[in-house]
Structure 1
Amino acid sequence: MTLVRWNPWREIDTLQRQINNLFEDNRVPSGLVDRDFIKVPAAELKETDNAIYLKLELPGIDAKDLDIQVTEDAVHISGERKSETKTEENGTTKTEFYYGKFQRVIPLSARIQNTNVSADYKDGILHLTLPKTEKEKNKVVKVNL
């Protein structure tokens, strides 16, 4: 039996890596009963004076399997990535792909005209253009010093 010197910094490094992995991951808990995680799509928001541009990463999902609902202050997206069924006589299949349903609500920083939203879905990337309401476009806030 060999003796190994205990290094407390190694424990801290391990904890730091675990915390970093937690913040880099796109998974959210699916509930308290089952300890599984549900993968949610990555999102990117860009805001200009006239509109909010939302881009979502949805690879492998058909447009018909997406449900997008837009309110004045949030975007609700749900969908399902269906698994491909293959039969193999010999061998084992291991996968890191997530198959199943997902749901995500993205709150918006300004009120939008939800009747004038335009969408484009190409190569697994969903682009939404969310025009702001006239009140939000012309909103000027005076700051007193």
Structure 2
Amino acid sequence: MRELDWHVFRELESLSERMQALLESAFLAPSRLTSGAVTFPPVDVYETDSEVVVEAELPGVAAQDLHVELEGERLVIFGVMGSDSGDAEETLLRMERPRGRFHRVVPLPSPVVPPFEATLSRGVLAVRLPKPRGSARSIHIAREAT
């Protein structure tokens, strides 16, 4: 029985090593990152009484490489990240920063109305989407007769 346990352990160790190599080749190889891979920028979504705010982290993205659209009740953010490939005489040794096209669809928690405002500052896109006025109404609570 002990021999069988050791054999299973060796198989698990081998499987772990193969998985590690696969992950490294799939996610860290420069050819994979530069060949049109899609990245998904992280977003924060919050709302106040008057608006929904979506903030997306887009370091190094220029405004001209960025597009924002409203499709129904979804905000769509897409563009190109890290398009500068550097000097042609340089040899790339490591590439960890995201590059290529990105596309993010963000469902909105509430209805929104124009005018919309978007700003890009210090690598953070902030989109402010006003909510319709009067969307929140008080409901009168009748008292029970005693």
Q: Distance in 1 between matches of 2:42 and 2:62?
A: 17
TM-score (norm 1): 0.64
Name the counterpart of 1:78: 78
- CA displacement at 1:37 relative to structure 2: 5.2
Which residue type is aligned with residue 64 of structure 1?
Q
Name the counterpart of 1:43: 43
After TM superposition, list the pairs within 5 Å mapping 1:19-98 onto structure 2: 38-81=38-81, 82-88=83-89, 91-98=91-98
Runs of at least 4 residues of structure 1 off by over 6 A? none
> Is contact 2:37–2:101 with CA below 8 Å preserved after alignment?
no
SS across alignment from 2:135: helix
Unaligned residue ranges in structure 2 (runs of 5+): 21-35, 142-146
Which residue type is aligned with residue 99 of structure 2?
Y
Unaligned residue ranges in structure 1 (runs of 5+): 19-35
SS across alignment from 2:89: coil
C-alpha distance 53-85 of structure 1, shift in aligned 2 (>3 A): same
Which residue type is aligned with residue 106 of structure 1?
V
> Is contact 1:119–1:128 with CA below 8 Å preserved after alignment?
yes
Q: Distance in 2 between matches of 1:57 and 1:92?
A: 25
Q: Distance in 2 between matches of 1:112 and 1:67?
A: 19
Structure with larger RCO (C-alpha < 8 A, sep 6+): 2
> Is contact 1:110–1:136 with CA below 8 Å preserved after alignment?
no
Name the counterpart of 1:116: 115
C-alpha distance 92-110 of structure 1, shift in aligned 2 (>3 A): closer
> Is contact 1:50–1:137 with CA below 8 Å preserved after alignment?
no
| Number of aligned residue pairs | 116
SS across alignment from 2:38: strand
Q: Distance in 1 between matches of 2:53 and 2:134?
A: 18
Q: Distance in 2 between matches of 1:39 and 1:92?
A: 20
Q: Rg larger in 1 or in 2?
A: 2
Q: Distance in 2 between matches of 1:48 and 1:106?
A: 17
C-alpha distance 92-67 of structure 1, shift in aligned 2 (>3 A): closer
> Is contact 1:80–1:100 with CA below 8 Å preserved after alignment?
yes
- CA displacement at 1:70 relative to structure 2: 2.0
- CA displacement at 1:63 relative to structure 2: 0.5
C-alpha distance 38-133 of structure 1, shift in aligned 2 (>3 A): same
Name the counterpart of 1:23: none
Which residue type is aligned with residue 60 of structure 2?
G
